[in-house]
Copies of this chain bind each other. A is one copy, B any other.
Amino acid sequence: MELASMSDVARAAGVSAATVSRALRGEPGVSDATRRYVTEVAERMRYAIARDASSLAGGRRYAVGVLTAEGGRGDLLAGAEAALRDAGYDVLLYVLRDRAAFFERLPPARRVDGLVALGVTLSADETGALAGLDVPLVEAGQDDPHDALRVAADHLVSLGHRDVALVLTEDADESYDDVLVAAGLATRPEWTLWSSPTVAGGEQAVEVLFDGGGRPPTAIVTAHAAVAIGVLLRLRRDGRDVPRDVSIVSLDDCELVRTVGVTAVEGAWRDRGARAATSLLTTLGVRAPDTAATVRSLVGGSVAVPGGRV
């Protein structure tokens, strides 16, 4: 038993293939009754369109290529995939290993309608090579976590925290303090630190925050997951209880922080991927389904009211 083709459906429905095509794609020029009937017949026959043929005839491929780095973030990818699939696009995955070879051979050539680069920073030459494919390209990854910080700050404030320290990684700027201020928090210069995006960076940040003579914060927000882990480890080693003595929030949500139990702002990375995909879809003229629905909330157990019990 072969899979049903469009002409099979047409025959079964007693119409022409063109009508089936129009009906199924929601094209105008088909009566409601016909469209309904054809749709029903197609479903009953479990008809699945042959994209190859469709692409060949229509010129559009209904596929986008997603470029990721080896060891890239899975949630970035998942977010993009979700948005693309919801829009009816196939997702061709390209994991960049041998970059030179990739940009030389350009495997996505003639295979995709657009490209999304997720968490890979493209050089000018590489961007130029991709331009040869003659399809739109969207890059994601340079986005900043202001939104996530907003969520975290609001939550901490609602719990009564007033003394919140911020451990940023190198690519951040002072504008993050503004978010804290907007949330109703007082900022202090010594509570905004920069560290390397590593566990060691987090450990050092704790030293700075608690060794100086100043008042120690009741909560620490980190921009990077590894830093959050470092903060946690150092606080514990110093005999401080998390979250009783100090709360921790990671703006960077990943398997790592979840497993260790650090509270993180959820969905930030998924969002980025989805936004990139949506942006590309818009360029492609597709009215992309709303992405705003992504949940952004806190998960984890490293946050409590300041100085008290949970």
Q: Residues of A with Cβ closer than 8 Å to B?
A: 3, 46, 48-53, 55-56, 61, 66, 70-75, 77-78, 81-82, 85, 90-95, 97, 106-107, 109-111, 132, 134, 198-199, 225-226, 229, 233, 236-237, 254-256, 259-261
Alpha-carbon distance between A226 and B257 when the two chains are bound, in angstroms? 11
Choose from B52, B92, B199, B254 the contact partner of A260 (Cβ within 8 Å). B199
Nearest Cβ in chain B — how far from A175, in angstroms? 27
Choose from B71, B107, B226, B261 the contact partner of A199 (Cβ within 8 Å). B261
Query: Are B95 and A93 in contact, CB atoms less than 8 angstroms apart?
Result: no
Query: Are B95 and A92 in contact, CB atoms less than 8 angstroms apart?
Result: no
Query: Are B82 and A78 in contact, CB atoms less than 8 angstroms apart?
Result: no
Q: How many protomers of this protein does the assembly include? A: 2
Closest to A92 in B: B90
Query: Are A109 and B48 in contact, CB atoms less than 8 angstroms apart?
Result: yes
Nearest Cβ in chain B — how far from A112, in angstroms? 10
Nearest Cβ in chain B — how far from A16, in angstroms? 20
* CB neighbours of A55 from chain B (8 A): 52
Question: Can you list 27 A-B pairs, Cβ within 8 angstroms, ordered by A?
Answer: A48-B110, A49-B110, A50-B56, A50-B110, A52-B52, A52-B56, A56-B56, A66-B93, A71-B75, A81-B93, A81-B94, A82-B95, A85-B107, A90-B92, A90-B111, A91-B94, A92-B93, A93-B93, A198-B259, A199-B259, A226-B259, A229-B260, A233-B236, A233-B260, A236-B236, A255-B255, A256-B256
Given contacts A72-B74, A255-B256, contact A91 B90 (CB under 8 A): no
* CB neighbours of A61 from chain B (8 A): 52
Nearest Cβ in chain B — how far from A270, in angstroms? 9
Choose from B71, B82, B132, B198 the contact partner of A97 (Cβ within 8 Å). B82
Query: Are B78 and A259 in contact, CB atoms less than 8 angstroms apart?
Result: no
* CB neighbours of A85 from chain B (8 A): 94-95, 107
Query: Are A71 and B255 in contact, CB atoms less than 8 angstroms apart?
Result: yes
Given contacts A3-B134, A259-B225, contact A77 B93 (CB under 8 A): yes
Alpha-carbon distance between A256 and B132 when the two chains are bound, in angstroms? 38
Closest to A105 in B: B48
Alpha-carbon distance between A81 and B65 when the two chains are bound, in angstroms? 13
Alpha-carbon distance between A124 and B237 when the two chains are bound, in angstroms? 48
Closest to A106 in B: B48
Instruction: Return the 10 tightest CB-CB contacts between A and B, nearest first.
Output: A48-B109, A52-B55, A93-B93, A256-B256, A226-B259, A91-B93, A52-B56, A52-B52, A81-B95, A74-B74
Closest to A224 in B: B259
Nearest Cβ in chain B — how far from A255, in angstroms? 6
* CB neighbours of A255 from chain B (8 A): 71, 254-256
* CB neighbours of A260 from chain B (8 A): 199, 229, 233, 256
* CB neighbours of A3 from chain B (8 A): 109-110, 134
* CB neighbours of A78 from chain B (8 A): 70-71, 95
Nearest Cβ in chain B — how far from A63, in angstroms? 8
Closest to A76 in B: B74
